[in-house]
Structure 1
Amino acid sequence: MPTTNGYVGGVTTVRHPPNAFSNTSAHASASSEYEVNTVLNSFHTGGIHALLADGGVRFISDNIDMFTLRKLAVRDDGQVIGEF
């Protein structure tokens, strides 16, 4: 049975910068831009800590370029990402 609750799938797509405002209202509609995306967030001021696939942990700024953030979220594409 389909559901409109995007959190059930446990999938995050990168559509918003880290710590973006999210709609946590119990009455959020399915058309809410945040409802089907788990926003990457933390209680750290200015960004998030992220575990990378090589086992490294990096602090990712709230101001990271969205193209770079999306490239970080893609696995096994063979692309080299410079400093971020």
Structure 2
Amino acid sequence: MRGVVLALAMVLAGCVSADAPDQNACGAAGMQSLVGQGRDVLAAMTLPQGTRVIEPGMAITEDYRADRLNLDLDAGGRITRVWCG
């Protein structure tokens, strides 16, 4: 039984990638204070090139880019999520 557990642990350890993308490559962690604010605050900011301001129902590509900042808005124009991808 101990051998099975050890073998399973070794297999699972192989699933962890050292090349995992940086979840904050776009700087989203430092912009979480925007959540809950209206889109008007964005006009006073200089956002990184390529930032996507995503409105409900808006079509977006599903390609992953760790350095791309995304801002999700709700129907009222409030920022609901700040994320990289």
Give the TM-score category using the shorter length. under 0.3
Query: Going by fraction, where is helix more abundant, 1 or 2?
Result: 2
Query: Going by fraction, where is strand more abundant, 1 or 2?
Result: 2
Normalised to the residue count of structure 2, the TM-score between the two structures is 0.24
